[in-house]
Each structure stands twice: as structure tokens, then as C-alpha cells.
A and B are shown apart, each in its own frame.
Chain A
């Protein structure tokens, strides 16, 4: 079936460095790609999203890029800080959205001091 693949499952970076998380999707008709951040003991929270009519979107230290031809999108976090440590989920609207969002399996981002 249609799905969303997310890599890596764990990412460790030094504080101040950049982090990149990548996702691929299979449905060429997908047109909406949100990213959620889940801190320890909490529910996920939307941090940024992108629609298929743009290639990049930025919000302070985070950005998302979309390559529709290759069917992949990425989350970029610059100047990482300890509070960026969390699990990040990508998602996509698959199959016209009748069943809502399809989530990737998550990336555990660890910021090393």
C-alpha cells in the first residue's frame, strides 16, 4: 500500500550543528506534508508543514524542502539546541486523504552538549 518512509530512525548531532531528517512517499498525488515534534511524555505537535505548490518553507531555525519529482521531503534544523531533542514525525496525505494522514515511523533526534 501507499506509505511514508522516514530516515534515520535515530540521529545524534552536536549542539550548534545542523540536523536533517528525510522522508519519501509513494503516492504521486500527495500534496500536503506536515512535520510533528513529540517531546518526552507529551503528544506530538505540528512544527511546520508544506504544500505541493512550493519547494521550500522556513520558520526561524527550521525549514522543510520538497522535491515532488523524486517524491521526497526533508526537515532541516539549524543551530540545534538542547530543546530540539525529541522524536520527529513526517506525514503525508495519501490516496486523496480519505483516511487522513499517513505518518512516518519517527526519528529520535539527540542533541549532544
Chain B
């Protein structure tokens, strides 16, 4: 089955700890994205990558970091510098980095910082 997976589904961390969210795709897509979803706020872009070993900041990149060492993987690290990290995080991929291509989303990871 082709698709995009995120793990874990639920994640709990203590305040001050860094945490890494996993995102893997086997669709052979060049572009990958991370969004944050808060109630009533829609989807806000954190980081995106149009190709391996390259990524750009989105609208709300502060307190987050990413890497794109492999085409199929785009992990997101939520650092202790992120002031309000509790949220639902969505990863997506598209065949290329143009915004006119369909984005395929994973099922999301709900992060709760205690």
C-alpha cells in the first residue's frame, strides 16, 4: 500500500524536553510538509522540503527543526524553545514542490506537553 505514515498517534512529553515526530512516505514524492493544527486555526505551515537535503521555513517555524536526509523521511523536532507545543501535527507530501499538486496527508500526531 502506498501512503504516508506518522508515528506515534499520541505523544506525551514533559515541558522542556525536545521531541521528534516521525513522517514516512512511500509515494516517491519529492516534496514534504509539516503543518500544525489548532482548534479554530486551520492548518499552518511549519516547514517544507521540495527535495532531499533542502528545506524552507513556513509561517510558524520558530521552535521547530527538520531534516531531509532521505526522500521518504521528513522528521520534525519540537524543541524546548517552542512556547506552546501542544497541538495536532500533520505531515503531507506531494509529487513536486509546486502548490498546484495534490497534497497527501498522514493521519497526524497529537502532541501533549505536560
Chain A residues with CB under 8 Å of chain B are: 6, 9, 32, 34, 36, 41-46, 49, 89, 93, 97, 99-101, 103-106
Known A-B contacts A43-B106, A44-B90, A44-B105; A89 and B100 likewise in contact (beta carbons under 8 Å)? no
Chain B residues with CB under 8 Å of chain A are: 4, 33, 40-45, 48, 58-59, 90, 92, 98-100, 102-103, 105-108
**Contact present for B42 and A32 (CB under 8 Å):** no
By secondary structure, the B interface counts as loop
**Contact present for B103 and A89 (CB under 8 Å):** no
**Contact present for B100 and A32 (CB under 8 Å):** yes
Across-interface contacts of A105 in B (CB, < 8 A):
40-42
Known A-B contacts A43-B106, A43-B108; A100 and B99 likewise in contact (beta carbons under 8 Å)? yes
**Contact present for A46 and B90 (CB under 8 Å):** no
**Contact present for B59 and A44 (CB under 8 Å):** no
Across-interface contacts of B40 in A (CB, < 8 A):
9, 105-106
Q: What would 8 more interface pairs be, CB under 8 Å, given A41-B108, A44-B43?
A: A42-B107, A43-B92, A43-B107, A43-B108, A89-B42, A99-B45, A100-B45, A101-B99
